[in-house]
Amino acid sequence: MPRLLDTNVFITAKNSYYGLDLVPAFWSWIEEQAETGEIASTDMVYDEIRDGGDELAEWVKGRRELIFHLDSSSATVAGHVARLGTWAADAGYREHVIEDFMDCADPFLVGVAAELGMTVVTQETPAGAKRKKVKVPDACAHLRVACEDTFEMMRQLGALFR
């Protein structure tokens, strides 16, 4: 099943274990996986990273069509996003928490994954009983979308950096 990458996959990798200057093989691997259709991301994730004003922002600008080509504006995605907003309210999240969630790429990322039958890749972990932030894995669970972290994705796709 193809994977859909969250903004934090790119930012966390750049800021920690796979810096663009430290492990260029990771970034080449991301490109290779996008070329074969194993991974992709959305226009909204692109927008979030592009506006960062750093080396990652420059990296994504050269890969808009390769990786960040999935459109998050379909009617089906909008329906999934609306369902997530209702779910978050019914689950007891505070209004400002719901607003923060609905104003970012996250619900649209999950909506695209639901529409296309993709697995979401994120570095977030489920919130559990805490309701301070709507987490991507919880939103995925609500829409019955598969979800995994970067390391599980790499294992599943056979990534090796030597």
- And the tokens for 3? 């994977």
pLDDT digits (tens, 9 = 90+) for 25-70: 999 999 999 999 999 999 999 999 999 999 999 999 999 999 999 9
pLDDT digits (tens, 9 = 90+) for 115-154: 999 999 999 999 876 778 999 999 999 999 999 999 999 9
Write the CA distances from 46 to 58, 94, 159, 162, integer angstroms.
11, 28, 23, 29
Q: Within 13 Å, how many C-alpha atoms sit on residue 31's CB side?
A: 11
105, 72 in Cβ contact below 8 A? yes
CA 160/CA 29 separation, integer angstroms = 9
CA 157/CA 162 separation, integer angstroms = 16
What pLDDT was estimated at residue 162? 80
What pLDDT was estimated at residue 161? 87
Q: The whole model's pTM is what?
A: 0.95
- And the tokens for 139? 């939103």
